[in-house]
Every structure is written in structure tokens, then in C-alpha cells.
Amino acid sequence: MEWVETTAKTVEEAQDLALDKLGVDELEAEFEVLEEPRPGLFGRMRGQARVRARIQPKAPRPKEDRGRRRRSGGAGKKRSDAKKSEPKKASTKQASDGQSSSTKKDDSGRDADASTGSSPATAKERSGDKRPAKKSGAKSRNRKPEQPTEESSMEEVSSCVEEFLSGLTSAFGLDAPVVIDTTGGEINAQIEGKHGLLLGPKARTLDAIQELTRVAAQRTAPSSIRIKVDVGGYRAQRKASLETFAVSAAERAVAEGTEIVLEPMSSADRKAVHDRLSEFDGVSTRSAGNDPRRYVIIVPDGDSTAEEPATEEPTTDEAADAADSEGDAS
């Protein structure tokens, strides 16, 4: 029997598809797992499962049985010749008798075999459809019940963060100590020194490092503790510069009486602008656009063209997005 190959989201589903193609039960087939899904970010699975299967080959009959069958071939041929020489009337009569008896109906109006009283389902089995019914619990035969995830302590998560960032800086060939601060119920990891290689254009490399640190810590020590990563105090300097720039743009919006549209920013930068201008009289702020091109609009009070604040779309930094949305609502 040739192999059949199937793909699905899980190995179990791929095996079920292979059984459907072969038309046999699980005990009558053999499988080979060619590829399994790989775990990706945030617990999602990447790729698909690929399985090939075939019907289990049956062992050949012993030589003695095959020799006995060859020796008895002549007698069987004579019997078959005798059957062919029988009158055709007898076979025609038997066929007509069988047809009349099989078309009899029972009291409920359903066709049944008069000689055996079998139902249509049994007749289907006699017609040669030997495909077994699919088991309802086939997909869950190898699945284990999910166990609740235990919350890791602050010390365990901090240790994982420090270990990951220390290994990362060593891989970059940098001598940069990592300082962990757990004030406020969150983890703030500071990589000491000025390292532009870890920042990247518009701090995109730093944002990627922060996300990788969260994923690594979540796999080793699952928890809901928020993790922030900074290099040489860049984020504090960036926040101060944004606040100064936001005040300047708000003053211009009030003086000119028109909306000021800022450049696209990350959720953390938008939050800094919203928070600072919430204390500035005469203007309000809202966000527009879609990530990663979402931006802040500064609207002077009394502007009839101002639209209702838009709700922030969720991003990977859920806490920052929630705070950004609060700033939009103001």
C-alpha cells in the first residue's frame, strides 16, 4: 500500500485526515510524523503538522498453504466449468425470486431483506462499504488536560530578566552591567552605558530587545509582572524631550487656532504627550491612524472641526495602549 501524506494544525488532526483517506481504523494503519508545529511568540504555534500513513502490510501466507492452493487449482477449475454449464433458466429464476423477496416491506414502510430481516444499514455493509465509522473521540485521544499556570515571584522573574540581558550584551561583545529595579511592583532593567548599537534608529532595536526579554521571562517564569528595559537612561531623556516638544506644539496650536498633527509615534511616546498636555490649558489631544503609523493630534479648545477621540488599537504593549487610550479620551 502506498503512503498518503496529510497536513493539519496538529498531529492528531493530520492523523485523522490520513485515516479518512485510507478508509481504515487507527489500529490498521501505521504513521510517520514528518513535521510538527513549532512554538512561537505568546504561546502560539508556528507551521503545520505533516504526517504520512499507510495500511499496515499483511504477512505473506506460508509456502505450504500456497502449494496446497496450486495443487487444488485443477479441481476448482472443473467446478467452475460445471457452474458455467448449468442452464440459464435456473439462474434467471433465482434472481427473480431474490428480487421479489428483497422488495417486501415491513409494517413501518421501510425496505428490508425478507430472508434475514436486515436493515438498510446492514445492506450497505453487504454491498462492500467496509469503511468503519469515525470515532467521536479520535481527536482527543492523546491530549492532556491543561494545567493552571502558577504565578512566578518577583525574584524569579527578575533573575530571568537579568540572566537574559547579561547574555545578550555578552553576545554583542559589550561590557555593560545590568541593574534591576523592582520599585512600584514592576521590573525596570537598566543596561548601563551609552550603547547606540542597542538603541537603533528611533529606539526600534531597544523596543525589540524589551519584547524579547518579556517573551524569554514568560517562558521560564510565567507571570503578569510588567517588564521595562532601558539603555543608559534613554527613555527618561526621550520622555523629557517629548514633553518639551509637545508644549511647544500646543502653544502654536493655541496661537494659530488650528490643529497640530505630530509625527507617528509608539504607544509609549503617545502616552507621554497625552499625559503632559492633559495639564496644559486650552488644548486637548486625540490619536488617529493605525499602528505603526498612529499619531497624536493637538486640538485647540473651541475648534468646531475637532472629531471625537479615537480608541487605541491593542498592541503588544497592552498597558501602554490602555494609558494612551485614557489620554485620548481626555
50-77 pLDDT tens trace: 888 988 777 666 666 555 555 555 544 5
Distance of CA 261 to the CA centre of its chain: 37
Give the per-residue pLDDT at 12: 87
Name the nearest CA neighbour of 55 among 2, 15, 13. 2
State the DSSP H helix or E strand holding residue 329, giving kind and residue range, or none if neither: helix 318-329
| Element spanning 178, H or E | strand 178-181
pLDDT of residue 140: 46
What is the per-residue pLDDT for 136? 46
pLDDT for residue 44 is more than 60: yes
The pLDDT of residue 64 is 60
pLDDT of residue 325: 43
Question: Which is higher by pLDDT, 150 or 235?
Answer: 235
- Decide which of 160 and 320 is more confident: 160
Mean pLDDT rounded to a whole number for the chain: 74
Lowest mean pLDDT across 155-159, 216-220, 290-294: 290-294
Q: What is the pLDDT of residue 133?
A: 52
Q: Say which amino acid occupies 221.
A: A
**Residue-level pLDDT at 24:** 79
Tell me the pLDDT band of 229, cut-offs 50, 70 and 90.
Answer: very high
Task: Give the model's pLDDT for residue 307.
Answer: 45
Q: Please answer whether residues 195 and 174 qualify as being in contact, where contact means their C-beta atoms are separated by less than 8 angstroms.
A: yes
pLDDT of residue 294: 92
Residue-level pLDDT at 62: 60
181 vs 132 pLDDT, higher one:
181
Cell numbers for 10: 496538529
Q: Which of 37, 30, 29, 27 is nearest to 7 (CA)?
A: 37
pLDDT over threshold 70, residue 270: yes
Residue 50 has what DSSP assignment?
E
pLDDT of residue 37: 83
Give the model's pLDDT for residue 171: 92
- Residue whose cell numbers read 502558577: 150
Which pLDDT does position 262 carry in this prediction?
94
